[in-house]
Structure 1
Amino acid sequence: MVERFAVIPAAYVFLLRDGERGTEVLLQLRQNTGYMDQHWAAAAAGHVEQGETAFAAAQREATEELGITGIDLTFVTSMQRSQGGAPIEERIDFFFTARSWSGEPTVIEPEKCVEIAWFPLSALPEPVVPHEHQVLTGLREGQVPAYSTFGFTSS
């Protein structure tokens, strides 16, 4: 009998703005988190808490990690994610974008974030967390499916 696994939900927020070189995204450089440290990632992201919607989690994370409020979220995609058959829990990630908010994005958790910076979607820094890179590529190309997967091996 196969044991059921717990799917862990997370919400991601890509803040977007128009820049001189096209659409820009705000990314954070991760540190001291134990996962993908020294990689660029969504400026705000985190687990969805019990009894919380992904939408509410995205708003909460934007406030907790960037100090912004009144964020106008647009749902982009959901991603079912694994690590290629590795013995980890599987995840469901909900990605949102926002082009308007109140306040200036600021690093609120410096112990987890080295810096935040704006980058054109056409010139992302290296390295970017791989599954987030997949969504950013879709945003750049204007083709983000409503549902995607990452890390599964075909059998």
Structure 2
Amino acid sequence: MTVTTPNSSHQGGNSLNVSSSAQPQSTAVLLVNSHGKYLLHLRDAHKPICDPGTWSLVGGGPEPGETLDEAIAREILEETGLVLPHVAPYTTARAHGPNVTAGNIQVYTARWDGVAHDLPVSEGIMFAWFDVATMEQLSMCPWAHKVIKAHHAEHPAPQVPGPRDGAGQGGAGAVKNVIGAHLFLKRENCTLLGLRHASTAFAGGEWHALAGRVERESVRSCLVREAYEEAGIAIEPADLSLVHTVHLLDDHENAEPRLQLFFQASRWDGEPKVREPDRCTAWQWWPLDALPDPVVPYIRAAIEGILAGTAYTELGWESAAPAPDGR
């Protein structure tokens, strides 16, 4: 981690700074993306911690022998799994209220462009990106909200083309597309769907196909692995055939566009069983003409496309397309 010293305007002009005699005993970081949004962490609501149930910042106190710079690097890694190259001190803030063990907080800044709901959640409930206007509607940790508003006033959100702004412009504002592998199993005019655990960040309490995000592996290999890990189903790669593709643009947390690939298995071994109860609470065969409610919308669209014999569906791109006159 490279730590730089804030400039004099930060030191002298920020009303959040505490007196020099009150040394910070804890740390926090403002993680900002290229669209000027801030990464917030939803804290547990029913634990004896400071600011329970609020949206706040990543951070925590130093361990014995640690400097504040070392502490924030460790906290970022432990809470998000990220190793960030440039983390700079920004200001100091003061927390108040029950269960506050370290009132003075050294606040840092760092830049990160990524998908919040893909971060591991080692504590708390979830991560999400928010702009400052939306934060006015959230249950915010007071000191964190104050710090963010001060930072935003000094660093307004840049006018950077997002996924929708760059549509149809020859790659302007280009972003990567995430690939998802999905299994379409058909038995006696029924298909297999899993009920997502209510606490999952994506589609909690909804029915979803067996699926996984493709990492450094082939799509078929990903699906073979996910089928066994999630439901105990054994499939050979050669028995998987691509039957539909959904190109999805979802505004959820400004996520990247996704290519959702659906493969049908001609044969498999094993009966589906719950093997990851923190993600999926039940597997069930549903009639193709009577899918459950609620079901993840793009899953329904894909199944309808498969039954109609079409190969491709686009979702969420309607408002991203430029007008015929180019405006």
What band does the TM-score fall into relative to the shorter chain? Answer: 0.7 to 0.9
AA at the equivalent of 1:13: L
Inter-partner Cα distance in structure 1 for 2:202 and 2:309: 25
Is the CA contact 1:85–1:153 (under 8 Å) kept in the aligned structure 2?
A: no
> Identical aligned pairs, as a percentage?
37
More helix by share: 2
AA at the equivalent of 1:3: G
Inter-partner Cα distance in structure 2 for 1:86 and 1:70: 34
Inter-partner Cα distance in structure 2 for 1:119 and 1:85: 27
Partner of 2:194: 28
Task: Choose which of 105, 127, 133 in structure 1 pairs with 2:300.
Answer: 133
Partner of 2:221: 56
1:116-155 → structure 2 map (5 Å cutoff)? 116-139=283-306, 142-154=307-319, 155=322
Inter-partner Cα distance in structure 1 for 2:205 and 2:267: 28
**Higher RCO structure (Cα 8 Å, ≥6 apart):** 1
Q: How many residues align?
A: 147
Larger Rg: 2
Q: Secondary structure at the match of 1:102?
A: coil
Inter-partner Cα distance in structure 2 for 1:38 and 1:120: 19
AA at the equivalent of 2:254: P
Is the CA contact 2:233–2:270 (under 8 Å) kept in the aligned structure 1?
A: yes
Per-residue deviation, 1:135: 1.1
Task: Choose which of 102, 108, 112 in structure 1 pairs with 2:275.
Answer: 108
Is the CA contact 2:244–2:305 (under 8 Å) kept in the aligned structure 1?
A: no
Inter-partner Cα distance in structure 2 for 1:48 and 1:85: 19
Deviations 1:85-104 (A, max 9, x none): 97321111110122421112
Is the CA contact 1:81–1:92 (under 8 Å) kept in the aligned structure 2?
A: yes
More strand by share: 1
Is the CA contact 2:183–2:265 (under 8 Å) kept in the aligned structure 1?
A: yes
Inter-partner Cα distance in structure 2 for 1:144 and 1:5: 30
Inter-partner Cα distance in structure 2 for 1:87 and 1:70: 34
Partner of 1:76: 243
Per-residue deviation, 1:74: 2.1
CA RMSD of aligned residues (A): 1.9
Is the CA contact 2:305–2:313 (under 8 Å) kept in the aligned structure 1?
A: no
Q: Which runs of 5+ in 1 are unaligned?
A: none
Taking structure 1 as the reference length, what is the TM-score of the superposition? 0.86
Q: Which runs of 5+ in 2 are unaligned?
A: 1-160, 162-171, 323-327
Aligned CA distance change for structure 1 residues 67 and 86 (closer, same or farther; 3 Å): closer
